[in-house]
Amino acid sequence: MRKILIFAIISTLIACNAYRELPGSKVDDNWKVKPIPPSAQQEGGDPAAGLDYLIYGDYIGSGVPYEFFKKKMSNQPDTVLRREGENAYVGYGATVFTAPNGVKVVNGNCFTCHAGKLNGEVVLGLGNSFSDYRKSLKPMARLMRLGVGLKYDKDSDEWKAFEDFSNYFREMAPYIQVNQAGANPAFRLAEACMNHRNPADLTYKKAPNYEMMDYTIATDVPPLWNVKKKNALYYNGIGRGDFTKLLFQASVLGIPDSTAARQAVNRFRDVVAWLMELEPPPYPGPVDGQLAAKGETVFNDHCSKCHGTYGSEESYPNKLISLALVKTDPLYANYAFNSGIVGWYNSSWFANTEPRSYFEPNLGYVAPPLDGIWASAPYLHNGAVPTVEALLDSAKRPTYWSRSGRSDDYNHRELGWNYTALETPEGDWAFDTTLPGYSNKGHYFGDKLSEEERSAVVEYLKTL
């Protein structure tokens, strides 16, 4: 038994090291900062129709038959979205919609991951930092297939409206189990689903397109109100070209083929319009105006060249910062750089039909806009730092920390979650920065500030 355990530990260590040195993933010193150029976007969408589509729409394509799901539903109405019809009784993270063959099905929607709680209220567009993907979803994938298979014939419409989702759920379930609470494996989900789609017409295929690493890397979830300033999507700036196609990516979990994808993606012009109007929640507490004004000067001297300027003279430079310069955990950028998903995406329907989107991987991270930064703790792409104050003073960053999991447990002085530094990573919402991909190192740009300058910058950031 002990031998097996030791073997398991050693092979895990070897495996983890292997990811740090993926072929061709050495830190590239040839560039420090790359400006990200804009791409043409579609205009004229309707923001209200965009939100409507996000909460009622059929963009996931297939799902669990509603008749089957209904029995397991609560009869409590949802108080967040207050939707009409069957959707009134479904949680805000799921939608009842009609599959292409006319059967009503249920599936998750974008707000499973892109709505977060603050002071007990759900904020649409804030990343959900309280998801927990540590349990394997493999048994659920099996049970769901079994349950639906027992109730409906394999040639029934219900089974057909379920089958695509079921196939992709089964393929991705083994790849999205993470070792960190709060971390979101969306990239792996997309990677696993695309792995079983024909690139040209997006139909299901059993044989994989590429090899996937064993280790499940996951990230924080970025707030959606920054999309309007960005020329490239995702932490590493990999998402280029037309945003409607990029946003639509979550649909690889269930959309049957490129014909259904084409119809859904047309509706994403409205979704993009909704995002262009989305604003961060204003800081709810008092702000010391004088201190904030001092902070603005410090910010403009030390931070704005990467993060832009705010207020009456807004600017955002859209810069990608190399791993060598930002020095934050390189694993996510390295991982995406080497993933088979890049070649797949760039030879697929997404890249080969108009409007075109494509992946451009780089070994670096985007310096994001900081609008509403007070609301979107924890910080960095991997969520390794609990507060802005700790982000600006690397000596204060805890190796192991935990939060209560309550959305009102917010620290207004340090901006972020109240946290307890731990000796060992224990408890439901513990964060372990020693795990591969979750280091709290790097972004040392606040270290050279004095205590006074730092607290002034924190005060200023409350106003963005």
Question: Residues interacting with ligand HEC, by CB under 6 A?
Answer: 59, 108, 110, 112-114, 184, 186-187, 189, 219, 221-222, 224, 226-227, 230, 233-235, 247, 250, 271, 302-303, 305-307, 321, 325-326, 328, 365, 367-368, 370, 373, 376, 379-381, 388, 391-392, 443, 445-446, 457
- How many angstroms separate the Cα of 269 from the Cα of each of 5, 41, 243, 246? 52, 9, 8, 11
Question: Which of 10, 4, 12 has the alpha carbon at shortest distance from 436?
Answer: 12
| Shortest CB 154 distance to ligand HEC, Å | 28
When the beta carbons of 114 and 197 are compared against ligand HEC, the nearer one is 114
Q: Which residue's CB is nearer to ligand HEC, number 158 or number 372?
A: 372
Smallest gap from residue 456 Cβ to ligand HEC (A): 11
CA distance linking residue 187 with residue 174, whole number of Å: 14
**Burial of 156 by CB count in 10 Å (0-12 exposed, 13-18 middle, 19+ buried)?**
middle
User: In this structure, are residues 212 and 342 in contact, taking their beta carbons and an 8 Å threshold?
Assistant: no
- Backbone φ, ψ for residue 121 (5° rounding): -110, 145
The residue among 161 and 278 lying less far from ligand HEC, judged by its C-beta, is 278
Closest CB 321 distance from ligand HEC, rounded Å? 4
Residue 216: both structure tokens together? 């499940």
Distance between CA atoms of residues 102 and 413, nearest Å: 53
Nearer to ligand HEC, 103 or 265 (CB): 265
Give the Cβ contact number of residue 315 at 10 Å.
9
Of 202, 217, 174, give the one whose Cα is nearest residue 337: 217
CB of 166 to ligand HEC, least distance (A): 17
Q: How far is the CB of 425 from ligand HEC (least distance, A)?
A: 21
Question: CB-side exposure of 426: number of CA atoms within 13 Å?
Answer: 3
User: Least distance from C-beta 382 to ligand HEC, angstroms?
Assistant: 7
Residue among 115 and 148 whose Cβ is closer to ligand HEC: 115
CB nearer to ligand HEC: pick between 166 and 328: 328
